């Protein structure tokens, strides 16, 4: 997924925008982009595949001036994009994944709409979203009609002379949170972006809700789609940063609870050391250690100065190389010990097998017990690109080998009490070359998060999609003191 940040300030917004966007760097490694509106639009996009956001944008910092801006760390395509439209010029950034890009692109092409942005898909997703929006009678109508047409998810920030329009996707898969400080209002995918700039959280946007943000406050432009909410559970398991809260629930504490539930299921094993695969596995491991009473130690450490997340680069070869090079074993902690290793999840399993388990055995581990904090992943993500293709998933490879073909109905393998589930887990354990393997159950994962099951997207584990709710949400107007400025724009500098 991508990360969005926007800020409307009474003064120059650039410092808040620069650092607020950078605090989303764990969500993508393809592109970073910012757009600022002062006397006109100024926009810059950089490829981040070989360097970090701060270093790429440091030379651009001084040329950005304005009181409103949006930024994005993108996992797929270049953004934000600029569009001169019948509603006036605007910049837009998006987060999510659209399944029916090809069909929607063809529909607009048949209407005579052209696309200019370079993309690996039929159209740049953000450009497609922008051109769907301008089919409406105004921007708000356009956003709502765009929501009606897409399959998948899309949250967005749209910057124009009237402020920043923030819209959360219809099912709430991806979060957007509004905050304020003494001088500005901001919106972010990750609340990690707020504390160091002294922003205080005001509200989480509801699914489908659209708000307009200025330096004076926010106004709700559309209340959203009602009671349906299916926020991505994987945010707490892996994707999110430990300091972030979603729906008011902190990532670190959820991971600690996950570890606690894993330990409760392990009363029959005796280990010397509890650990976690860096970095997202640490909190799961800490929770396990607190519950089990066993010491938490670090048999594997990540060389953080030079390596980011091995999950986010698009190339599998690059992901594997980073996974291999970033984890360094500490033999004195490993040798002769029986070790529990908590992991956020097992997607393909190859990185865990080749670059964690192998290093532990090579350094003399006595036993290796792998404890993923979520259930076996059965389906690739349809909404945020959180997981890979179905044929790559470790659980699907196990089922294919057990059944002799790609089985469509995998309900027996999803049921953790079934014999087929046990066969699948045993197959994965053997493939990983570990002493034992025990996954978290769906029920305990949901309990650890603390939201009702029906408010969580569990598609990756259960294959069940949400159904739209037509409940009418309440009108919600949050502080605004005066109308937004109607400044005349000069020519855009792009």
CB 77 within 8 A of CB 93: no
Q: What confidence tier does 494 reach under pLDDT thresholds 50, 70, 90? A: very low
For the chain, the average pLDDT equals 90
pLDDT of residue 324: 72
Beginning with the edge strand found earlier in the chain, give each strand of the sheet holding 177-180 in spatial order.
41-47, 31-37, 68-74, 3-9, 184-188, 177-180, 200-204
Instruction: Give the residue, 225 or 35, on which the prediction is more confident.
Output: 35
Helix, strand, coil % in the chain, rounded to nearest 5: 35, 25, 45
pLDDT of residue 316: 64
Please give the share of the chain, as a percent, with pLDDT higher than 90: 79
Question: Structural domain boundaries of the chain?
Answer: 3-225, 250-450
Q: Give me the mean pLDDT over the 360-370 stretch.
A: 99
pLDDT of residue 476: 47
Q: What confidence tier does 471 reach under pLDDT thresholds 50, 70, 90? A: very low
Residue with tokens 């395509």: 77
pLDDT in tens, 122-156: 789 999 999 999 999 999 999 999 999 999 999 99
- Intrachain domains 3-225 and 250-450 with the same fold: no
Q: How far is the C-alpha of 453 from the C-alpha of 457, rounded, in Å?
A: 8
Q: What confidence tier does 49 reach under pLDDT thresholds 50, 70, 90? A: confident
CB 8 within 8 A of CB 20: no
Query: Looking at residue 483, what DSSP letter applies?
Result: P
Q: Give me the mean pLDDT over the 59-84 stretch.
A: 95
Tokens of residue 369, six digits: 């017990």
Classified by CATH at the fold level, domain 3-225 comes out as 3.60.20
Q: Tell me the pTM.
A: 0.91
Strand partners, 6: 70, 187
Phi/psi at 5 (nearest 5 deg)?
-145, 135
SS3 at position 92:
strand
Is the dihedral angle over the CA atoms 439, 443, 446, 448 positive or is it negative? negative
pLDDT in tens, 142-199: 999 999 999 999 999 999 999 999 999 999 999 999 999 999 999 999 999 999 999 9
Taking residue 195's Cβ as centre, other Cβ atoms within 10 Å add up to 13
Classified by CATH at the fold level, domain 250-450 comes out as Rossmann fold (3.40.50)
pLDDT in tens, 109-120: 999 998 887 666
CB 172 within 8 A of CB 229: yes
Lowest mean pLDDT among 28-32, 235-239, 489-493: 489-493
pLDDT of residue 199: 99
Please give the share of the chain, as a percent, with pLDDT higher than 70: 88
* 314 pLDDT above the threshold of 60: no
């Amino acid at each position: 997924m991508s990360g969005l940040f926007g800020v409307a300030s009474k003064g120059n917004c650039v410092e808040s925008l620069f650092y607020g966007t950078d605090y989303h760097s764990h969500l993508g490694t393809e592109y970073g982009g910012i757009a600022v509106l002062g006397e006109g639009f100024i926009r810059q996009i950089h490829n981040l595949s070989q360097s970090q956001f701060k270093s790429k944008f440091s030379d651009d910092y001084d040329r950005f001036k304005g009181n409103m801006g949006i930024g994005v760390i993108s996992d797929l395509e270049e953004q934000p994009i600029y569009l001169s439209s019948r509603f006036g010029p605007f910049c837009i950034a998006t987060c999510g994944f659209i399944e029916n890009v090809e069909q929607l692109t063809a529909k607009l092409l048949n209407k005579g709409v052209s696309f200019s942005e370079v993309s690996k898909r039929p159209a740049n997703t953000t450009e497609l979203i922008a051109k769907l929006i301008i089919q409406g009678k105004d921007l708000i109508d356009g956003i709502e009609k765009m929501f009606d047409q897409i399959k998948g998810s899309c949250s967005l920030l749209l910057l124009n002379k009237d402020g920043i329009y923030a819209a959360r996707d219809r099912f709430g898969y991806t979060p957007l949170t509004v905050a304020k400080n003494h001088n500005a209002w901001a919106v972010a995918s990750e609340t990690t972006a707020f504390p160091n700039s002294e922003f205080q959280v005001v509200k989480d946007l509801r699914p489908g809700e659209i708000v307009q943000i200025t330096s004076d406050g926010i106004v709700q432009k559309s209340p959203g789609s009602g009671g349906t909410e299916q926020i991505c559970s994987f945010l707490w398991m892996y994707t999110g940063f430990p300091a972030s809260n979603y729906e008011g629930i902190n990532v670190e504490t959820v991971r600690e609870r996950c570890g606690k539930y894993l330990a409760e299921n392990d009363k029959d094993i005796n280990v010397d050391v509890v650990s976690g695969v860096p970095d997202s596995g640490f909190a799961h491991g800490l929770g396990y250690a607190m519950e089990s009473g066993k010491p938490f130690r670090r048999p594997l450490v990540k060389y953080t100065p030079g390596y980011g997340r091995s999950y986010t680069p698009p190339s599998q070869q690059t992901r594997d190389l980073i996974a291999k090079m970033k984890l360094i074993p500490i033999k004195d902690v490993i040798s002769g010990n029986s070790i529990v290793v908590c992991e956020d999840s097992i997607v393909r399993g190859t990185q865990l097998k080749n670059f964690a388990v192998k290093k532990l055995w090579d350094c003399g581990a006595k036993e290796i017990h792998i404890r993923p904090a979520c259930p076996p992943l059965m389906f690739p993500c349809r909404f945020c690109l959180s997981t890979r293709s179905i044929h790559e998933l470790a659980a699907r490879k196990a089922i294919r080998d057990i059944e002799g073909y790609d089985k469509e109905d995998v309900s027996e393998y999803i049921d953790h009490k079934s014999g087929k589930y046990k066969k699948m887990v045993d197959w994965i354990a053997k493939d990983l070359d570990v002493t034992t393997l025990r996954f978290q159950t769906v029920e305990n994962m949901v309990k650890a998060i603390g939201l009702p099951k029906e408010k969580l997207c569990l598609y990756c584990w259960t294959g069940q999609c949400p159904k739209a709710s037509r409940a009418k949400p309440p009108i919600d107007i949050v502080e605004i003191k005066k109308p937004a400025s109607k400044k005349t724009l000069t020519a855009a500098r792009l």
